[in-house]
Amino acid sequence: MSELMTLTLADKLYRTKYEPDESHPHIKVNDAACEKCSDKPCLFFCPAEVYKRDANNAQHVAVSHENCLECGTCRYGCPHAAIDWQNPNGAMGVKYRFG
């Protein structure tokens, strides 16, 4: 079995270089729409687990935009269009180390 198949998600994400733009996150979540959503599919469809339940309010979703692989799944996966995903500002975002 190859090494990449036995790595955890955290191990695989560690192999990806990010240049986060802390002052201008490229992902924003509409909390009002999230409150109405009982299924929270965003917690499951993101391959990098960018979306997690907010520790302070289980009806809201916390976003770790700095882990985003920029695949765009969230633009289409949220049935309530509560996720606003834009391309990161120039020279920011994910920079692959391998591949």
Q: Using one digit for the tens of pLDDT, what is the confidence trace for 35-78?
A: 888 889 999 999 889 999 999 998 899 998 888 888 888 888 89
pLDDT at 29: 92
Section 6-27 average pLDDT: 80
- CB 62 within 8 Å of CB 51: yes
Q: How is domain 3-96 classified at the CATH fold level?
A: Alpha-Beta Plaits (3.30.70)
- Say if residue 2's pLDDT is above 90: no
pLDDT at 88: 86
Is 29 exposed, middle or buried (CB count within 10 Å of its CB: 0-12, 13-18, 19+)? buried
The H-or-E segment that residue 62 falls in is strand 61-63
CA end-to-end span of the chain, whole Å?
A: 19
